[in-house]
Structure 1
Amino acid sequence: MFKLDHHNSILEVLQSLDSKLLIDCQAYFGGGSLPALDMGEYRWSKDIDFICSVPSQGYKKLRTHLYQVGNKGLFLNENSLLTIRRATTDQYGVQLLVEINQVPIKLEIIAEVRFELDEPRFPSWSPVPCLSLNDCLTSKLLANADRYLDRSVESRDLIDLAVLRLHTELSQRAIAKAENAYEVIRPLGDAIQFFQAHSDYRQQCFESLQIGRDFWPDVIDGLDLLSADLKLSPTTRTYWEERSPF
């Protein structure tokens, strides 16, 4: 279904999960892999992240279930090719290293205490419940505020926000949910301005995240929408970031 083999391995893991349990425990697929898979595979993503609500008692319900049946209780009994290699469960979430078709994939269910989750959405390709677009924005605003200064992250949260912005408004509701935890808009502005000012770094991020050159203009389009939302200047584009007239 997907162009990248690793993304098809991610999909196979998702198909192995107990979707009814995830819905019941309010554990929804999110992180960077969700927009990457949902919006045309604009970048490579290697892990699987779910966000599980703590305020709604969803995480408590999940922990109780796993205590009773073990980590295998996350999965249906239909995929003999999936193996749990390592598992940790604590106050921060459930972390698994699974292997499918000899491909190791990190799967994490994060105990989310900072905001309450919207009702999930169910894209046609996804076998599991997914974060609403609004909650994708909220979670990415928080992630960007947490780690935008870490260059090893390669600005993936900002890039994901830029692509999300092509598909939806940067809603005040998403901002308010994030800023109820801590400040996110000034860090977003700082991240945008650094990204705009360093074209070599942008190219490094695009190439490392396997973003095709034909999609670079789209990322900058989304970035400039975010920039306009924050009343900042548009990006001075490199040759490869210009939209081709042909």
Structure 2
Amino acid sequence: MKAFGKPEHRIIAEALGLMDRDFLTANQCWFGGGTAIVMKLGEYRRSLDLDFLCADASGYRELRTRASELGVRAFFPEPVEAVRDFQVDQYGLRTVVRLREQTIRFEVVREGRIDLRGHFDDDLGIPALVPADMFAEKLLANADRSQDRAVAYRDAFDLGMLVRAYRQIPTEALDKAQAAYGPDIHRKVIWVVDKLRDKDELRDAANILQMDVAAGTDAISALRAEATRLWPQVGKG
């Protein structure tokens, strides 16, 4: 596992290190979402959620059963504490845990829209989504909530940082996301990069996310360039 600079991310890394990697892998439960991307790509913003995803029916059944029977101990040993009981339903497992006085929202999402692939990620020290599926999940998330200002365009920033790291959106990721959501994928990417031409809007969002404004600007510029490559109509007007 790589070293992390932000104290809160070091605690997140400690929590990840306590998890049973074999149990997660056996049930195809992969670390993903914003915190995985943030920690993998240089801690460019603050993120304190632990989001795992499972697209396998039998795997999710086992995860759900263990959570119902053992609570937080299904996933974390001491000294991680449960702040509240699991909420368990068809969409996933959700709780809040505490480690070293830091509260962490923990969720396992039952992914029913796309298939997922994972591997052991050396940077994160945990089974995690492969990069193509990190892209795919962020494309879906951006389509779902890019127009919710309370989210502060975090999915667009994360997509931009992924593009900067991996140079372009993988065809596999785009195909998966578009198979699930159709043209709304490109419409929402185009919408958000246009919205964030407003420097005040971008600055305010970066501040909410505790992200350097220059890093945020670079991320959106990278996403805008990639959108122009994929969908040339974004550059018109």
Same fold (TM over 0.5): yes
Q: Percent identity?
A: 31
The alignment partner of 1:141 has SS state of helix
In the alignment, what sits opposite 1:3? 5
Q: Does 1:111 align with 2:110?
A: yes
In the alignment, what sits opposite 2:61? 60
The CA RMSD measured in Å over matched residues stands at 1.8
The alignment partner of 1:122 has SS state of strand
Larger mean Cα displacement after TM superposition, 58-67 or 182-191: 58-67
Cα distance in 1 for residues equivalent to 2:154 and 2:69: 37
In the alignment, what sits opposite 1:73? 74
Cα distance in 2 for residues equivalent to 1:142 and 1:217: 22
In the alignment, what sits opposite 1:131? 129
- Which structure has the highest helix share of the two? 2
- Per the TM alignment, residue 146 of structure 1 is displaced from its structure 2 partner at its CA by 0.4
In the alignment, what sits opposite 2:156? 158
- Per the TM alignment, residue 166 of structure 1 is displaced from its structure 2 partner at its CA by 1.2
Paired letter, 2:16: L
- Per the TM alignment, residue 33 of structure 1 is displaced from its structure 2 partner at its CA by 0.4
Cα distance in 1 for residues equivalent to 2:199 and 2:217: 13
Q: 1:28·1:129 contact (CA, 8 Å) conserved in 2?
A: yes
Q: 2:8·2:48 contact (CA, 8 Å) conserved in 1?
A: yes
The alignment partner of 2:45 has SS state of coil
Against the structure 1 CA distance between its residues 69 and 24, is the aligned structure 2 distance closer, same or farther, given a 3 Å change threshold? same
Q: 1:165·1:225 contact (CA, 8 Å) conserved in 2?
A: no
In the alignment, what sits opposite 1:193? 194
Against the structure 1 CA distance between its residues 131 and 21, is the aligned structure 2 distance closer, same or farther, given a 3 Å change threshold? same
In the alignment, what sits opposite 1:205? 205
Q: 2:32·2:129 contact (CA, 8 Å) conserved in 1?
A: yes
The alignment partner of 2:121 has SS state of coil
Structure 1 runs of 4+ with >6 Å offset: none
In the alignment, what sits opposite 1:240? none
In the alignment, what sits opposite 2:31? 29
Cα distance in 2 for residues equivalent to 1:176 and 1:223: 17
Paired letter, 2:199: S
Q: Unpaired segments of 5 or more residues in structure 2?
A: none
Cα distance in 1 for residues equivalent to 2:70 and 2:4: 33
The alignment partner of 1:32 has SS state of helix
In the alignment, what sits opposite 1:176? 175
- Per the TM alignment, residue 124 of structure 1 is displaced from its structure 2 partner at its CA by 2.3
Query: C-alpha deviations, 1:55-91, integer Å up to 9, x for none?
Result: 5x2212222333454441212x4xx321011121111
Against the structure 1 CA distance between its residues 40 and 203, is the aligned structure 2 distance closer, same or farther, given a 3 Å change threshold? same
Q: 1:44·1:210 contact (CA, 8 Å) conserved in 2?
A: yes
The alignment partner of 2:143 has SS state of helix
Q: 2:51·2:108 contact (CA, 8 Å) conserved in 1?
A: yes
Against the structure 1 CA distance between its residues 125 and 95, is the aligned structure 2 distance closer, same or farther, given a 3 Å change threshold? same
Paired letter, 2:235: S
In the alignment, what sits opposite 1:98? 97
Query: C-alpha deviations, 1:122-176, integer Å up to 9, x for none?
Result: 3323231111111011100100010011011110001101111112221222112
Paired letter, 2:174: I
Paired letter, 2:87: T
Question: TM (normalized to structure 1)?
Answer: 0.86
Q: Does 1:149 align with 2:147?
A: yes
- Per the TM alignment, residue 45 of structure 1 is displaced from its structure 2 partner at its CA by 0.6
Question: TM (normalized to structure 2)?
Answer: 0.89
Cα distance in 2 for residues equivalent to 1:221 and 1:157: 14
Q: 2:35·2:47 contact (CA, 8 Å) conserved in 1?
A: yes
Cα distance in 2 for residues equivalent to 1:60 and 1:16: 22
Larger mean Cα displacement after TM superposition, 203-212 or 156-165: 203-212
- Per the TM alignment, residue 213 of structure 1 is displaced from its structure 2 partner at its CA by 4.2
